[in-house]
Amino acid sequence: MEDKVQKALIWIRNFAYIANFIIWCIAYSYFSPEDLGEAAIIFWLSMLGIFIVYFILSKICHLALTVPKSKRFKDEKIYSQVLSEIESNDYRKGLLAKALSEAKGNEEKSRAIYIKLRYQSIKDEGK
């Protein structure tokens, strides 16, 4: 997916360069030879605008690609902690009672419910 985002950013940047060239050509034909300094200002300002937009887009894409990975890694660590607690019989008694109640005494269901409840409690403790 990162490769597709990079290609999309390159296409956006190239399109912006072409649009800037067209803007410059229009400005060049619009201004008289004495006013070409103004056309150059328009050209450089639009180049700066393209750079700023490209920079912002690349940062947004970078954040969009990295945040989900870190969240998944954090979730994996929490589930690993819950499983370690279960394997060492270190249950939270209140959560275990709630899980057994929701599962109507079914041990297998209560274990899955306990994992869900404990996961949420660890997330809440971390906030």
C-beta of residue 31 within 8 angstroms of C-beta of residue 38: yes
Q: Which of 48, 41, 3 is nearest to 24 (CA)?
A: 41
Q: What are the boundaries of each domain within the chain?
A: 2-69
Mean pLDDT of 75-96: 91
Confidence of residue 37 (pLDDT cuts 50, 70, 90): confident
pLDDT of 72 strictly over 70: yes
Supply the Cα-derived Rg of the chain in whole angstroms: 29
* pLDDT above 90: percentage of residues in the chain: 25
Give the per-residue pLDDT at 32.
67
Top-confidence residue, 38 or 79:
79
